[in-house]
Structure 1
């Protein structure tokens, strides 16, 4: 019997919330971004809401224009290891860059978290878009790597990482004390990878986990990003605000899977949302106004500068029409630039409004009552725009708590969301098969071929 399709949810955990003024609320916790107990409670709240994933983002450069909640924060995989001990079911995913890591080290990091968590880890694979050009200068580089070359490197990088994760077959470590045999040499595999960008021997010094390999997550929306996702990703985060365009993206990306021998259910597309939930729509809108009123003009302009690149915002105000500003098409995240220009063309916002549109979630309909928010999510889910959602709360922890306590029960009542976890690993939560070890599979294929001959 085919299991009924249900919404998948990921909770984006970042300090006091994604709204750039959230830290100014009187009730906001000081130094939330480096408070481990605070993060544990956020992850536990998401787990109480039966979320698939607790997600930790990252960046490798900060400056005066950065979001306050990323100026002083934990390294993500370190935080995941701590959260693993504070939770028992929820998946744990963190961002790490293919441009500024080596494959061997990254493979070790995420394999370690996967073991520590009992098979609940995932890697959000990014190439690192850099609108400011500052990241490279933190890594002894004079310039950031060009967009298309970043994706060429990433294609090799993921092949190396996944190959290293298969260094040991599942039963390689026999640990026979009587014979003195610790491992079966036939079940240890060197990768011996040689490509254009990477040369990696292996084996990795940690074996496969309970779920086989960490789940691969991506967010690239450009054409190279979509091709990479179609070949390798198991979860894709997207931030398409327009419903029809979200349907187009969903259909387009799912349609690319067949070329790589994959089926649509092997990749889940989660759309970004930033709901504000209250008992009445008026109360929700009041919360939104309260946040927006705390946004200082210079703070909003600095955020836009950090988000969109080298623009001198000093000669503008937040009430300047965005169409009057010349935004350079830089070497950052192409989907950000495309999304911004589309918003300016369609909605003709001021800079103040542009900030709110870029910072916000799927659409303004998500500021309202629990029932109104649930209606929007149901529409996007049932009408081919999303397999689920990346919940990016404007305010934490209150926004997450309200969503778990008020929206989740409605989705459960409608049969759209799980009542409880049915497995223990992230792959089980997502309905993804445990990947076979590639070297063991090749060995079996060879044995079958010899037997047939």
Structure 2
């Protein structure tokens, strides 16, 4: 079924991919921790597939014992480098308003947007309670409290926007050689901002950005964070809630944006997924189970036995789930303590277990494979979508048509391979269905995402 609504698609670039265990596969390239060409390839692949943007998340804490926190390339440096080998692809920059200063960030944004000719977006995060002790890395730099970080984020965003768009007139460059006047008199404007958190004179000492408004991304679940997004952002990186709850959350957020006096169609809701793709569903599930098997487990724990209602100490973990468990006798909310977030519309745990077996790990899955899936789900920050090109395209189309999302941020589990497979297999399928572009239709990221100018 074709659709007039078009997906927005982004691709995440991390040195070893997103999955915490997939790096152990024999075919995986892990040199991305030292070799920038690995995630430069992500940008090239994304542009080959006419995706909207690449996102390279940042981190300020020091956690050398956690794979998803070590060796986070500075995303501004990465984007500047990758922009030089691409022509249309956008780049989403992450900054933390609780630690960083708006004048310095505005300089980086304006420089990057000029260098890449309008392909920049800004992801503002304001958490100060992240693991890895970011406070310890910033010394006496003033940091807000949990109660004041939202006010600081709003002030930070206001100052960044005013520096970007109010510092200079568009025709500031006079370049009158005869008269000896390079910059048009009166074309620059001091900001003279004095707030609770920042004092900034201005103007910005970098030319204004190419885009009319660099899109701003909002993340977070708190009431203050959601309202920040409705008032000041153009995109939301959202959790995925499943179809039924996702439709309700989508509707509520669009209504919140409209209540702020804005066009909700210009505000895009984009959850993230980790995709496990292969030529066939069987191959994709086999690879997903191979990754799951890297989790170190000496024995299935008592909590898992209790959840399933059987004594697993008397059962080999290589037994098929369906040979050991009578799903009809599974207790209500049996798996709820083990699965922290349900990204499906299962009404009870019997239906949830059937969903896991039929769509994720296969009906021949063993007890150990089920346990590994449960363990991964507890710690995942987004759902895993496992299957062939049709499976993944079906998932994307259904969620788009049901108005659960406006686009998806794709997290390759490892490098190299998954990103290329998505572009080679899934993108053509999405194009055949009429829900994704065949070529870039705008020269700026704001144009590609169709966002507004509100700030």
Give the TM-score of the pair, scaled to structure 2.
Answer: 0.81
| Structure 2 gaps, min length 5 | 307-337, 354-369
**Residues 263 and 12 of structure 1: is their aligned pair in 2 closer, same or farther, counting only changes over 3 Å?**
same
Q: Does 1:157 align with 2:176?
A: no
1:400 maps to 419
Q: What CA distance in whole angstroms lies between the structure 2 residues aligned with 1:43 and 1:32?
A: 13
Give the distance between the partners of 1:160 and 1:294, measured in 2 at CA: 47
Deviation for aligned residue 1:61:
0.9
Offset, 1:296: 3.4
Show the counterpart of 1:310: none
Correspondence for 2:390: 371
1:288 matched to which residue of 2?
288
In structure 1, distance between residues paired with 2:372 and 2:145 = 28
Q: Is the 8 A contact 1:17 1:395 kept in 2?
A: yes
Deviation at 1:352, TM superposition (A): 6.5
Q: Please identify, of 26-35 and 245-254, the stretch whose mean Cα deviation from structure 2 is larger.
A: 26-35
The answer to whether 1:112 aligns with 2:111 is yes
* Residue 214 of structure 1, CA deviation: 2.3
Shift of 1:143: 11
CA apart distance, 1:424? 1.5
1:307 match: none
Residues 387/343 of structure 1: CA separation in 2 closer, same or farther (3 Å cut): closer
Question: Once the 2 structures are TM-superposed, how far is the Cα of residue 360 of structure 1 from its aligned partner?
Answer: 6.2
> Cα distance 1:186–1:320, how it changes in 2: closer, same or farther (>3 A)?
farther
Alignment of 1:431-450 (within 5 A): 431-433=450-452, 435=453
Q: Report the secondary structure of 1:283's partner residue.
A: helix
User: What whole-Å deviation, never above 9, does each CA across 1:309-348 have from its counterpart, x for those lacking one?
Assistant: xxxxxxxx87464999xxxxxxxxxxxxxx9755599779
Corresponding position of 1:14? 14
Change (3 A) 1:113 1:297: farther
Q: Does the CA contact (< 8 Å) of 2:282 and 2:387 recur in 1?
A: yes
Alignment partner of 2:186: what SS?
helix
Distance 1:54 1:368 in 2: 23
Kept in 1, the 8 Å contact 2:15–2:32? The answer is: yes
- The within-5 A match list for 1:336-355 is 341-343=340-342, 353-355=374-376
| Separation (CA, whole Å) in 1 of partners of 2:438 and 2:451 | 19
Q: Quick one: distance in 2 between partners of 1:103 and 1:429? A: 26
Could you tell me which residue of structure 2 aligns to residue 172 of structure 1?
A: 172
Q: 1:241 touches 1:361 (CA, 8 Å); kept in 2?
A: no
Q: TM-score, normalised by structure 1?
A: 0.81
Give CA-to-partner distance per residue, 1:280-315, whole Å, 9 cap, x none.
2111111101111223359xxxxxxxxxxxxxxxxx
Whole-angstrom distance in 2 between the partners of 1:83 and 1:142: 31
Partner SS, residue 110 of structure 2: helix
Shift in Å, 1:147: 3.3
Alignment of structure 1 residues 235-384 onto 2, 5 Å:
235-296=235-296, 319=301, 321=303, 341-343=340-342, 353-359=374-380, 361-362=382-383, 366-384=385-403
Larger mean CA deviation between 77-86 and 388-397 belongs to 388-397
User: Offset of 1:257 from its aligned partner?
Assistant: 1.2
SS at match of 1:231: helix
Instruction: Deviation per CA, 1:231-260: give whole Å up to 9, x if none.
Output: 111111112242222212211111111232
Shift of 1:218: 1.9
Q: 1:114 to 1:27 in 2, by over 3 A?
A: same
Give the C-alpha shift of residue 129 in structure 1: 4.9
Q: Which has the higher helix share?
A: 1
Question: What is the Cα deviation at residue 271 of structure 1?
Answer: 1.4
CA apart distance, 1:15: 1.7
CA distance in 1, matches of 2:271, 2:98: 25
Change (3 A) 1:33 1:297: farther
How many angstroms does 1:150 deviate by?
1.4
Larger radius of gyration: 2
Structure 2 CA distance, aligned partners of 1:187 and 1:255? 39
1:205-229 deviation line (CA, Å, top 9, x unaligned): 1121221342211212221111000
Asked if structure 2 preserves the Cα contact closer than 8 Å seen for 1:319 and 1:351, the reply is no
Q: Summarize the Cα distance change of 1:180–1:132 in structure 2 as closer, same or farther, 3 Å threshold.
A: same
Counterpart contact for 1:169–1:207, Cα < 8 Å: no
1-structure distance, mates of 2:253, 2:303: 34
Instruction: Find the aligned partners of 2:34 and 2:250 in 1 and give their Cα distance.
Output: 36
Match of 2:449 in 1: 430
Secondary structure in 1 aligned to 2:228?
helix
Counterpart-to-counterpart distance in 2, 1:4 and 1:254 = 19
Give the whole-Å Cα distance in 1 for the aligned partners of 2:117 and 2:5. Answer: 25
User: 8 Å contact 2:144–2:152 — kept in the other structure?
Assistant: no
